Structure 1
């Protein structure tokens, strides 16, 4: 019997939280994924995967994205109150 994993089951909860906050902050800044790509070199498609909770970005990628939107990684990963 084959076992299949859905993509949304593969991302770590902290990666999902980061993606949710990345999208909210990017949209608040009226920044497109393409604009974020231009600033960071991270492809727009990968940014989309991160924002949709379907990827586990490295700490380096998280730092690049967080820096581009003016928010520390620690704030992006802080527990929700």
Structure 2
């Protein structure tokens, strides 16, 4: 069963937020994926909204960015 459209737009918005924060720190996607312990392809899928990261993955992203989990969701 396909995911509701709202879920897809939230994933895209979250991915855009991760990309925005990563670029603000001048980190390449590959370097950021390494810092998180993720494959670069998975990082790409997160940033394009094609992946649905787990709570554990979201925590890893926030730690790697040096921000709180709540900050990752600001403005979504």
Bigger Rg over Cα: 1
Count of paired positions: 73
TM-fit CA distance, 1:79: 4.3
Alignment of 1:6-45 (within 5 A): 12-45=8-41
Q: Within 1, Cα distance between the matches of 2:29 and 2:47?
A: 10
RMSD (CA atoms): 2.2
Question: What CA deviation, in whole Å up to 9, does each residue of 1:2-26 have, x standing for no partner?
Answer: xxx99xx6x5443322211100010
What TM-score, normalized to structure 2? 0.79
Alpha carbons 1:17, 1:76 under 8 Å: kept:
no
Query: Runs (4+) of structure 1 moved beyond 2 Å?
Result: 11-17
Structure 1 residues 17 and 43: CA distance shift in structure 2, 3 A: same
Unpaired stretches in structure 2, ≥5 consecutive residues:
none
Unpaired stretches in structure 1, ≥5 consecutive residues:
none
Alpha carbons 1:19, 1:50 under 8 Å: kept:
yes
